[in-house]
Amino acid sequence: MTDRELLSLAKKASMNAYVPYSRFPVGAALECEDGTVFTGCNVENAALGSTICAERTACCKAVSEGHRSFKRVAIFADSENWPTPCGACRQFLHEFSPDMEILCSKAGDRYVSYKLSALMPHAFDY
Ligand code: THU
């Protein structure tokens, strides 16, 4: 799968976002080592701290289906800034694949990519 195909799955996933509070839909498409893709969106809650981000939704879907090794995650949000994953999502993904690639896209054709290890150096572990 190309980067752009994965990004387009992330954009499609953002359409299912449940975002009555922030009105900020995010979508993610997580590609596993074996090529399986799990998508996710952000799911908000009236108890705001219970909100789950798109990346963690996708990651929990994957892990709960027996996948623990990831190659890439594509993230889409129609935002002004590149939608890089929040700190909690970085830590969460790092648990499984510290060297995975992170693709970020917003409206328009361009996207940026990072190694998770560059976005999350010295992640917590024990
Ligand atoms: N959000 C994500 O889905 N992923 C991130 O990495 C950062 C933030 C969501 C959470 C909330 O629903 C909305 O974006 C605004 O913070």
pLDDT tens for 36-74 read: 999 999 999 999 999 999 999 999 999 999 999 999 999
Is 55 a residue of the active site? Answer: yes
Residues 6+ apart with CB under 8 A from 50: none
**Which of 31, 55, 65, 95 is the catalytic position?**
55
Give residue 65 CA to ligand 1 midpoint distance, Å: 23
**Domains of the chain (ranges plus CATH)?**
3-119 (3.40.140.10)
Question: Are the C-beta atoms of residues 116 and 101 closer than 8 Å to each other?
Answer: yes
Token digits of residue 44: 């908000």
Phi, psi angles (nearest 5°) of residue 32: -85, 165
pLDDT tens for 94-121 read: 999 999 999 999 988 899 999 999 999 9
Ligand 1 contact via 45 beta carbon (within 6 Å)? no
